[in-house]
Amino acid sequence: MSARIYPSGPGEGGSGEWAIPLTPRRLRDAIANWVSTTIVGSFAGVGARAYYLRDVVRGLAEPGTYLPETLKQMRAIGVDSLPLASLVAAFIGSVIALQSRYQLFPGVQLSIVGLITRQMIILELGPLLTGLVLAGRVGAQMTAEIGTMRVTEQIDALETLAYDPLAYLVVPRMIAGLIMLPVLTIYADAIGIFAAFLTSTIATDIHYFDFRDGLRLGFSQFQLFYSLLKAVMFGGAISFLCTYEGYTASAGAEGVGKATAKAVVIASVWILVLDALTAGLLAKYLQA
């Protein structure tokens, strides 16, 4: 006979099983066991990732191993993502311009559209959407590639050949992510603002000098630093979390698939968390 922790009668469903009655004590024990398991599992995951980060840092001592691969990964992460980043930024810039113009009250200066566009794209949507898009495209690719190498024992073969698999597989992707995501963010910001400019001047009654004056209003260099800081953190989070999930993937195609889906979700959530933390800590310094 099997036991379950919820009430039912004997022979439920014709199986002849008997269930253990759900008492307050059993419910309390079940909740305590779930909480303790969750907490222990969370700390174990943090510890495993800390050891992984330590080994990645050690891999930096082998530049001859990771530098040739870094250039390839910079192309895969940055250059190959330009069309997608351009498309997303252009549509976001156009929508922001249209929504901003037609939500203005009568009598408000039209230059405010340029200001709103600049602030929304540079400070928030540029780095955030670029990070989320790359988490889906690049992060999934990283996890799938490394996970496939793990389950097919190619990583074990690298160790047999006296190669550090972290220096060869992970460090190039980390460096490329930290470098190329800020570059893509600058590119996406420029595309988004240019698309907003075209939309405003062609599809609405805003003149180009009104939009230009709004772009210049209240601008400071710290706003660019704020945007690039977000991009660096997002790039590091995507590279670190996605390579970890691939490196620890379980055997089989199902394990690689689960690791890929988990990596994209975790990276996306951490991008949102880092975005909120950055805004909470630094938004007060954005005043020009």
What pLDDT sits at residue 79? 92
Counting the structural domains of the chain, the total is: 2
Report the pLDDT value the prediction gives residue 109, as an integer from 0 to 100.
Answer: 84
Residues 31 and 165 in one domain: no
Give yes or no: residues 182 and 199 share one domain.
Answer: yes
The pLDDT assigned to 46 comes to 86
- Provide the token pair at 105: 């009250």
Nearest to 234 by CA among 208, 267, 280: 267
What's the pLDDT at 262? 92
**pLDDT for 237:** 95
Give φ, ψ of 271 to 5 degrees.
-60, -45
pTM of structure: 0.84
Ranges of H-type helices in the chain: 24-59, 63-77, 82-102, 112-120, 126-134, 140-151, 154-160, 165, 171-203, 208-216, 221-247, 253-282
Both 247 and 173 in a single domain?
yes
> Which pLDDT belongs to residue 10?
47
According to the model, what pLDDT value does residue 8 have? 42
Identify whether residues 101 and 170 lie together within a single domain: yes
29 and 95 co-located in one domain: no
Range of the domain at 187: 64-285
Looking at residue 43, what is its pLDDT? 82
pLDDT at 3: 42
Residues 174 and 41 in one domain: no
pLDDT < 70 regions, the chain = 1-20, 288
Give the integer Cα–Cα distance in Å for 157 and 145: 15
Instruction: Tell me which residue of 138, 122, 124 sits closest to 272, measured CA to CA.
Output: 124
CA gap 41, 49 in Å, rounded: 12
